[in-house]
Amino acid sequence: MQARDLQTDGKGRLKHFLCIEGLPRALLLDILDAAESFAGVGERAVKKVPLMRGKTIANLFFEASTRTRTTFELAAKRLSADVLNLNIQASSTSKGESLLDTLRTLEAMHCDMFVVRHGMSGAAHLIASHVADEVRVINAGDGRHEHPTQALLDCFTIRRATGAWAERGSSSLVIAIVGDVLHSRVARSDIHAFNTLGVGELRVVGPKTLLPNAVETLGVHVFHDPEAGLCDADVIIMLRLQNERMQGALLPSALEYFKTYGLTPARLLRAKPDVVVMHPGPINRGVEIDSAVADGSQSLILEQVRYGIAVRMAVMSMAMGSLPRTRPPRSMRDD
């Protein structure tokens, strides 16, 4: 069974969240609407809601992570769930126990949800295929496949900044994704999400060695010239060079890459005056982005981290069937 077939129940409600590809537009918009209702929880004196009280969430991070793991942990705690962070280096998997044996052990402890990050593409799908029917699985990034909650927090950040998809219609935005698309699971999820929600034009910008073969079949326009690729863009999403996943020399050097593709204040002028800049992190200053841009007024990098908590609260509560029936407010901008 494909991942997309595991994600919803017989009534079209979210069950597992494994990938963006194949999810209906209405469901993505419902998640964004739910995230809107959670966006202000962190500003309260008591930063909790009781929607998942009594539930136990296990974070299974087989790859290093800071932003994703901590925002998932905060999201679960703000939903009043109990959180178990598995120390992979000290777990039985480092002693030869299989992934599914580890899963069975945690199921015996009555965990209700697994948040999984793994270097193997399809790991979250494998786990979702074997868990008990009442257990939920959230993909926090699997190999070079997808990172679906990152894509939705990117969509939510764009919606808050520009008003896109606020009334459930398509958007005329021009979005440019720049850099190492070949190795980026974020790029793949972003491309599926933006095309499903509807944008004016979706571009990928980078050297041929860092773009997948036939990437244009995903519904993007391909640019190797960054000056052309950034021209009149409304949103620029920079990607880091994922050296840990590269095989062989795909670039002359990091310095040469920055000279050609790095987002500098001068290159930013090619985009629209009110362009917003995003990056899934961690950022490499002086490699893919200049500090003046990363820290500038058009950067939404820290907003992405903050909104990631609300989006992950939405995904977890919807998957557990814990979301209240009230509709969220319609204001999509920060005042």
* Residue 329, pLDDT score: 39
Residue 218: φ, ψ to 5°: -85, 0
* Residue 89, pLDDT score: 59
Q: Which CATH class is domain 3-147+305-319?
A: alpha beta
pTM attached to this predicted model: 0.91
Q: Are strands 235-238 and 113-118 parallel, antiparallel or unpaired?
A: unpaired
Residue 148, preceding peptide bond in cis (omega within 30° of 0): no
* Residue 169, pLDDT score: 76
Cβ contacts of 254 within 8 Å, gap of 6 or more = 241, 284, 286, 287
Q: Which residues of the chain have pLDDT under 70?
A: 1-4, 87-97, 243-252, 323-335
Could you give the residue range(s) of every CATH 3.40.50.1370 domain in the chain? 3-147+305-319, 148-300
Three-class SS of 82-149: EEEECCHHHCHHHHCCCHHHHHHHHHHCCCCEEEEEECCCCHHHHHHHHCCCCCEEEEEEECCCECHH
* Residue 334, pLDDT score: 40
Q: Which amino acid is at 112?
A: D
Residue 61: φ, ψ to 5°: -105, 100
Biggest distance spanned by C-alpha atoms of the chain: 57
Q: Which amino acid is at 273?
A: P
* Residue 248, pLDDT score: 43
Put the strands of the sheet holding 82-85 in their side by side order. Answer: 82-85, 56-61, 113-118, 136-142
Residue (of 332, 40, 27, 306) closest to 171 by Cα position: 332
Quick one: 148-300 is in which CATH superfamily?
Answer: Aspartate/ornithine carbamoyltransferase (3.40.50.1370)
